[in-house]
Amino acid sequence: MSKATTTRIWVSALLLAALLYSLSAEADCVLPAPPSHIPDGSSASPQEMLAAVRTFKQYNDDVDEYTKCLDFQRRRNLITVDMLETSRSSALNTLATIVGRFNEQVRRFKARTT
């Protein structure tokens, strides 16, 4: 093989690898996992409740970033409108459910401490 042919093959391979990497990096929006533990408001310490508040705020921020990523993917035509709506709806429903459970524990905690 000539040096020119070898160079073209290497350049083509590098361009292909860079393209595949950039597509995979753009196409991946990772759905955040919800917090695995919700403290029991009837027995949790104030420190446990504050730690949970920080965890839930971070989860809310992570879901927000996820939905922004989905919007970006849609603008780039990497996902369909249906995929966008389904993924967003699922993430927001999970967020609402888990935050609702946590809020119930916050009410129990506040009732206990007042």
Provide the domain limits for residue 44.
31-113
Residues 108 and 70 in one domain: yes
Residues 62 and 94 in one domain: yes
Residues 47 and 90 in one domain: yes
Q: How many CB atoms lie within 10 A of CB 33?
A: 9
The pTM of the full predicted model, rounded to 2 decimals, is 0.73
Residues 85 and 103 in one domain: yes
Residues 6 and 35 in one domain: no
* pLDDT tens, residue by residue, 54-84: 999 999 999 999 999 999 999 999 999 999 9
Number of domain units in the chain: 2
Residues 58 and 81 in one domain: yes
* pLDDT tens, residue by residue, 11-37: 454 444 444 444 444 458 999 999 999
pLDDT at 51: 97
